[in-house]
Amino acid sequence: MDSTGLYVNRITLTSQKKHQHVQVIVQSFERSSLEQLRELKPEWQRVQLLLASNASRNDRDYVNVPPSNSKDLHAFLEDIATYAHGIGPHKTSIVPDPNNPPESSEIVDAAHHHGLFVHPYTFRTDVQFLPEIYHGNAALEFMRFYELGVDGVFADFPSHAAFARQVYERIARGDNDE
């Protein structure tokens, strides 16, 4: 049972029986849900969602916030690797200031070091939600994160993320042919 009183895992398992041949990735802010699913469905991939370091104090009492120093970050991610396959940090944990992007991301590099994939959230391609630095082109935001090594993203419009990934991979390969 989660903090709302719902038996989320039971609902998830019942729902999945209708769709036997699909890949399942479960994301949750609650460690206990992911630990229960590890026991019930070990083949399902589990993602520990993380809040940004600037999350409100009330939220920080209930969910994971990545530590800011390297030693604690590695211990934090090593622990997550015992029950999850990946992390879902808030995208500002990777690129705090889009106008001054990092050349690398400590959280992405550390997660990969501990065998975790990284799927930041939530990417919105509506122009009013994009930082001005991208000039209304959401593909530029996606590609910035792909350059930093994220393995995937949580996006309101997954087809936009997939298209941007294809463009990024073509550019990375030097494939300029139409």
Q: What percent of the chain has pLDDT over 90?
A: 70
How many independent structural domains does the chain possess?
1
Q: Quick check: is 2 in a domain? A: no
In order of 16, 43, 44, 152, 162, the CA distances from 145 in angstroms are 31, 27, 25, 9, 13
More confident residue, 58 or 10: 58
Helix (H, G, I), strand (E, B) or coil at 107: helix
Q: Quick check: is 137 in a domain? A: yes
Give the structural domain span for 131: 20-173
Please report, as a single letter, which amino acid is at residue 105.
Answer: S
Q: How many CB atoms lie within 10 A of CB 139?
A: 18
Q: What is the CA radius of gyration of the chain?
A: 17
Q: How many CB atoms lie within 10 A of CB 145?
A: 24
Q: Quick check: is 109 in a domain? A: yes
Q: Quick check: is 113 in a domain? A: yes
pLDDT in tens, 141-173: 999 999 999 999 999 999 999 999 999 999 988
Q: What percent of the chain has pLDDT over 70?
A: 81
Q: Domain containing 94 — which CATH number?
A: 3.20.20.190
Q: Quick check: is 110 in a domain? A: yes
Closest CA to 106 of 131, 79, 87: 87
Q: Quick check: is 5 in a domain? A: no
Q: Quick check: is 12 in a domain? A: no
pTM (2 d.p.): 0.83
Let me know the angle formed at the C-alpha of 101 by 99 and 105, rounded to the nearest 5 degrees: 155
